[in-house]
Amino acid sequence: MIHNYNEPKYKNRRKNLLRTLTEKGIRDTKVLAAIEAVPRHLFIDSAFADSAYEDCALPIGFGQTISQPYTVARQTELLAPQPGERILEIGTGSGYQTAILCQLDAFVYSIERFPQLYQVSGKRLRTMGYRKLMLKSGDGTLGWAAYAPFNGIIVTAGAPVVPETLKQQLADGGRLIIPVGNNTTQTMLRITRIGDDFSTEEFSSFTFVPLIGHEGWNNSST
């Protein structure tokens, strides 16, 4: 049950957010509809509720953030998940991006490094009625081999390099959306698997929290 979903102040703010995203170049109508449908204010601490529909990142604890809506929309648009596709998400965080993917009728496998966030986001997503997902706590840079290959992989943290393990867990035709760069700025990449080969496209620069793990940044380098 989604509480406060139809409160007028949130409904109007979501409409304003959609206008902002459209002005910034988001064109996929299915992505925009998912952004409108998912109540972002339920994924953050109530102290930040008044900022829930501003296009900004917000803290969710443990040095992590809920990404700004434009970033979520752009990554989702680049991923272009189709109904029924198997999508691996690296970095569950608050569960907001997870919910957007579920709203697009993908089956989502999501990994969160922090056990506390894994517990909180899992409970939140189940309470909100999302069922086509599987969650676990662990090192996201190693993917989830038991359920590979995936039609899409989306990484919600900045990596120093593209984890080879994630590339190998893509299905033929699968897309990997990942920000790669240094600790302050990353370039969004879309890597598409074509048989045993991979094509890479580069998009705009973004700023994410670091991707920690065996094939990402290690704790001592951040």
- The domain total for the chain is 1
Which pLDDT belongs to residue 60?
92
Which pLDDT belongs to residue 5?
54
- Tell whether 37 is covered by a domain: no
Which pLDDT belongs to residue 222?
42
- Tell whether 53 is covered by a domain: no
| Structure-token match 């890479």, residue found | 200
- Tell whether 24 is covered by a domain: no
- Tell whether 184 is covered by a domain: yes
Which pLDDT belongs to residue 2?
42
pTM score, whole prediction: 0.93
- Tell whether 9 is covered by a domain: no
Say which of 46, 67, 137, 220 is annotated catalytic.
67
- Tell whether 62 is covered by a domain: no
For residues 48 and 59, give the distance between their C-alpha atoms in angstroms, rounded to a whole number: 9
Q: Count Cβ atoms below 10 Å from residue 181 Cβ, excluding itself.
A: 18
Which pLDDT belongs to residue 221?
43
- Tell whether 6 is covered by a domain: no
Tell me the pairing of strands 150-155 and 64-66.
unpaired
CATH number, domain with residue 180: 3.40.50.150
Domain residue limits at 100: 71-221
> In the chain, helix, strand, coil percent, each to 5?
35, 30, 35
Which pLDDT belongs to residue 46?
86
pLDDT along the chain (222 residues), means of 10: 58 93 98 95 91 95 92 98 98 97 98 96 95 97 98 97 98 98 95 97 94 84 42
Q: Which ranges of 159-200 would DSSP assign to H, the alpha helix?
A: 164-168
- Tell whether 33 is covered by a domain: no
Give φ, ψ of 24 to 5 degrees.
-85, 0
Check if 221 is active-site.
no
Which pLDDT belongs to residue 219?
53
Task: Indicate the SS3 state at residue 204.
Answer: strand
